[in-house]
Amino acid sequence: MRAAPLTITDAAVRRVQHLLANRGKPSVGIRVGISTKGCSGLKYTIEYADDRKPFEEVVEKEDVTVLIDPKASLFILGTEMDFVEDDLQSGFIFRNPNEKGRCGCGESFHV
């Protein structure tokens, strides 16, 4: 048995549960991917998943399902997905041991 490509913190699970409960239509979970954007080249993407696509990896914690876009799998191996909230901002963050650097604004990264 191999390790999951992505781990999800309890805070991220609670936030995904909240988002899915308030979406207004059924979802199988959320989908995490990578797009080529930003000044460093890559950016994490999160979207609602209405269905499972071929070759997606599935990570489940409690009643939350996170689908991983096959094109993103190699870029996010070992990554932790968290949700943080403070006085100035809130959002999902990714702690990726494969990152070699981030842009100044923190929106994109490279491996």
Q: In CATH, what number is assigned to the domain containing residue 53?
A: 2.60.300.12
Mean pLDDT of all residues in 67-83: 90
Residue 1 lies in a domain: no
Instruction: Name the more confident of 69 and 43.
Output: 69
Q: Would you say residue 75 lies in a domain?
A: yes
Distance (Å, whole) CA 102 – CA 100: 7
Residue 105 lies in a domain: no
Q: How much of the chain is helix, strand and coil, in % rounded to 5?
A: 15, 40, 45
Is residue 109 in a domain? no
Domain that holds residue 64: 6-100
Total number of domains constituting the chain: 1
Question: What average pLDDT does this structure show over 54-71?
Answer: 93
Tens digits of residue pLDDT in 4-44: 789 999 999 999 999 999 999 999 999 999 887 655 578 88
Instruction: Provide the whole-model pTM.
Output: 0.83
